[in-house]
Every structure is written in structure tokens, then in C-alpha cells.
Chains A and B, each alone.
Chain A
Amino acid sequence: MSDLFTLFISALIINNVILTKFLGMCPLLGVSTKSSSAIGMGLAVIFVIFGSSVFTYLLYYSVLVPMSLEYMDLITFILVIAAFVQFVEMVLKKYSMGLYKALGIYLPLITTNCVVLYVTLDNIIKGFNFVEMCVYSLAVPAGFMLIMYIFATIRERLELANVPNAFKGNPIALIVVAIMAAIFTSFAGLV
């Protein structure tokens, strides 16, 4: 049990996917101008990563490994992710218009979010069992959402700041991320 907790905390904070693995930079810079949209994007990412991780994990160990087709992992995983995102979008549109309006615009963007592919591949590389895989695929996107939210709240203030012309927009945002990365490295001794 404590192992699972350690796994969760280390994936959530210590090895944070944005600040130490540099993944998901595109949505971080693109979507995080408002804290509400950061939460919407974060929830959509958690849902998609968890769903596609379970799918690809089962697919890998019950289809690809018995047929010794492990080298097909990348191609099948990316297709599963693309299809899953499309499927979620269609289901939400049909059955829950409210949720669709809240998450819908972020869903197409998620297919090319590198975090999704990273988590599905990492589950296999690290050789997790099913429970560890579930914990890991919840913790990583949760860490993504945490950083998205913190960053979006900082960015709302940053809009009002007087920044040199060359640094306006993304460069100053990256400096903010650099400072956040420096702060998060001090969590390294936590576990």
C-alpha cells in the first residue's frame, strides 16, 4: 500500500510530467490563460489518459505479447488514443451536453498531447502490474493538472505585469515555468 502511495506522490510532484519530463508544453502554453480552462483541460486529460492506459495495457498484454508483435506497440497505441478521444467526444456529445460544452473543445487537442502517449508507453517500459498501472496513470495527469492550474493563476496576474517587449507572451511564461521547476526540485527529497 505504501509503495503505491510513494508511486503516486513521486509521479504527482517529484517527477512531475511537465517540470521534469517537459511533456505537455503545447497545452501548457496554449490553454492555460484562464484558470477555469486549465481545470477543464486537466479533467479531460485525466479521463483520456486513464481510459487509454487501461485499454492499451490490456491490448499489449493480451494481444500483442501472445502474438509476439511487441514492436507494433507505438502504432497500435497511437491509434487507440486517437480512437478513444474521438469516441469520448461522440459519447459526450450524445449523452451529456453540459460536460461536452465544458470539456469538448479540449478533446481534439489531447490526441497530440505527448503526455498520453508517454504514459501508455511508460506503463509498459516500467513493467507495472495492473494496480500500479492504474495508480500511475491517475497520478501523472493529476500532476499535469496541478501545474496547469498553478501556472494559469500566475498567468492571469502576468497579463497585468509590465514585461519587456521581447519577453511578452511565451518567453516570460517559460521563465515562470523555470522558476516553478526550481521550486519543485526541492521536493526531490520527499520520498
Chain B
Amino acid sequence: MNKLANYGLNLLKENPVFGLYLGICSTLAITTNLNNALGMGVSVIAILTVSNIVISAMRKIIPDEIRIPVYIVIIATLVKSVELLIKAYAPALDTALGVFIPLIVVNCIILGRAEAFANQNGVLASALDGINMGIAYTLSLAAMSAIRQILATGILSMANPFTDEIIFSINLIGSDYVIPMMKEPIGAFLTFAFLAAGVQAIRTYEADKALKEVK
């Protein structure tokens, strides 16, 4: 239990989205509802894990000078495969995410982990790092999309991406009290700003506590 709490705290302190500001473009754009966020998150987990494995397995062969183009080609190949799979099996998700699936190529999280972790560590460690970072990213997307969806429509719902069957749907706020603006770009920026401020507040609080303990 303690380990889990520790993991949760690390998730907040070293959050790739709200702490390090990686991959914000897609975070802001696709978090209008929980479905899109989870679809995007699962795609990123898959791509990040496989790209970490491939890059870490090839790290001794790739010449240092051209490593970035090589990484980008590997990532682009994976992203294109995922895009074609989504097009074939989850067409509703494809129309909802649109151009943001191919844009995963330039999501800084993936290239960032390749550069910072996978090219120095073994295959297994890189795979775990990919899964870990991917889950942190997915949870951040889910948190932000849940807030936006509830405030904008009053309903938190989720549908099966393959069949469009609704899994659950909870009505939380009456339709007279919703804020439709939260679906618009301004809602995305505001939600992100407040979540990032929350993470920053926790980080400064922890840093202050550590400083007092030292004194």
C-alpha cells in the first residue's frame, strides 16, 4: 500500500504532462471526453512501449550523429501502423481524434523517452519505462477529460470504441448548470492551467517540507 501511495505521489511530482509540459498539444486538443482521452492514451502506451523496446535493442547499432532521424523513422512507422489499425477497427475513434493520431509522431514524450532513457538502458527496463510513462500520460488525459466532460455536459460516460456501445453513463450535474464553454479551447486552457498549478503547488509544498527537515 505504501508503495502504491509512493507511486501516486511520484505520478504527481514527475507527471510528464502537468509537471514537465511534454505532449501538451494533444492533451489540450483531444480531452473533450473520456473516450477520446483513453483511446489516445492507449495508443500512446502501445507506441511508447514498442518504440522504447526497438530503440533500446538497436542502441548499439545506431550511429550517434544520426540518431534523431533514425528514432523519428522508427516512431513514424509505429504511429502509421497504429493509425491504420484504428482506422480499420475503431472508425468512431478515428473521426474523433482525426489528425492528432499522425501527430503522435511529434509528441515530445515519445522522442523524449527515446533520447533520455531508451538509448542508455536495456530492453526490459526501457519497456517498463514506456509502460510507466504511458500510464502517467493516460491518467493525466483521463483526469483532464473527465473534468471537462463533467463541467461541459454534466454527464460522465464511456463507450466501447469498437462497437460504440455505451459502457456506463452517469449524470452528475443538471443540464441547467453546465458550462458549455469547457468544451471550447478556452476550457481546455483553463483546466490545464489549474491542474498544472495544482501539481506545482504540491511540488513546492514537498520541497518546502524537505527543506524544513534539513534545517
Q: Is the CB of A172 within 8 A of B193?
A: yes
Do B106 and A171 have beta carbons less than 8 Å apart?
A: no
Does B135 make an interface contact (CB < 8 A)? no
**B77 interface hit (Cβ, 8 Å):** yes
Could you give, for residues 69-99 of chain B, a 1 whenever the CB lies within 8 Å of some chain A CB and a 0 otherwise?
Answer: 1001100110110011000000000000001
Q: For the side of the interface on B, what is the size category?
A: 35 or more
Would you call B190 an interface residue if the criterion is a C-beta within 8 Å of the partner chain's C-beta atoms?
Answer: yes
Question: Looking at the complex, which one of B68, B107, B193, B198 makes contact with A82 (CB distance below 8 Å)?
Answer: B68
Interface status of A90 (Cβ within 8 A of chain B): no
Tell me whether A64 is interfacial, beta carbon within 8 Å: no
Question: Quick one: given A74-B80, A166-B197, are A22 and B28 in contact (CB under 8 Å)?
Answer: yes
Dominant secondary structure of chain A at its interface with chain B = helix
Is B186's CB within 8 Å of the partner chain A?
Answer: yes
1/0 per position for A1-40, CB-CB distance to B under 8 A? 0000000000000000001111111100100000000000
Does B25 lie within 8 Å of A20, measured CB to CB? no
Q: Contacts of B193 on A, CB cut-off 8 Å?
A: 167, 171-172, 174-175, 178
Q: Are A25 and B198 in contact (CB under 8 A)?
A: no
Is the Cβ of B76 less than 8 Å from the Cβ of A22?
no
In contact, B105 and A26 (Cβ under 8 angstroms): no
Q: Which residue from chain A places its CB closest to the CB of B69 in the assembled complex? A: A82
Chain B 183-213 interface mask (CB, 8 Å, partner A; 1/0): 0111011101110111011001000000000
Q: Is A78's CB under 8 angstroms from B72's CB?
A: yes
- Which stretch (A43-51, A54-62, A109-117, A138-146) binds chain B? A109-117
Contact check, A21 vs B111: say whether CB atoms are below 8 A apart.
Answer: no
Q: Which of A29, A112, A125 contacts B111 (CB 8 A)?
A: A112
> Which chain A residues lie closer than 8 Å to B102 at the CB level?
74, 117, 121
- Interface size, A (range): 35 or more
Q: Is B24 an interface residue (CB 8 A)?
A: yes
Contact with A along B98-141 (1 / 0, CB 8 A): 01001101111001000000000000000000000000000000
Q: Are A117 and B69 in contact (CB under 8 A)?
A: no
Cβ 8 A contact of B190, one of A23, A24, A74, A175: A175
Report A-chain residues with C-beta under 8 Å of the C-beta of B194.
171
**Contact between B197 and A171, CB atoms less than 8 A apart:** yes
Complex interface bits, B170-185 against A, C-beta within 8 A gives 1, otherwise 0? 0000000000000011
Residues on A with C-beta less than 8 A from B72 are 78-79, 82, 111
Chain B residues near A89 (CB, 8 Å)?
A: none
The CA-CA distance from A181 to B194 in the complex, in Å, is: 16
A112-B111, A122-B99 known; A174-B79 Cβ under 8 A: no
Q: Are B185 and A181 in contact (CB under 8 A)?
A: yes
Decide: B25 and A182 in contact? CB cutoff 8 A. Answer: no
Which residues of A have CB within 8 Å of B198? 166
Complex partner residue of B24 from A26, A78, A181, CB under 8 angstroms: A26
Specify which chain B residues have a CB less than 8 angstroms from the CB of A125 in the assembled complex. 99
**Residues of chain B lying within 8 A (CB to CB) of residue A113:** 106
Report if B7 contacts A (CB, 8 A): no
Whether B73 pairs with A75 at a CB distance below 8 angstroms is yes
Nearest-neighbor residue (CB-CB) of A167 within chain B: B197
Closest to A122 in B: B99
Which B residues are in CB contact (< 8 Å) with A79? 69, 72-73, 76
Between A and B, 6 residue pairs with Cβ closer than 8 Å are A21-B29, A22-B25, A26-B21, A75-B76, A121-B99, A185-B186
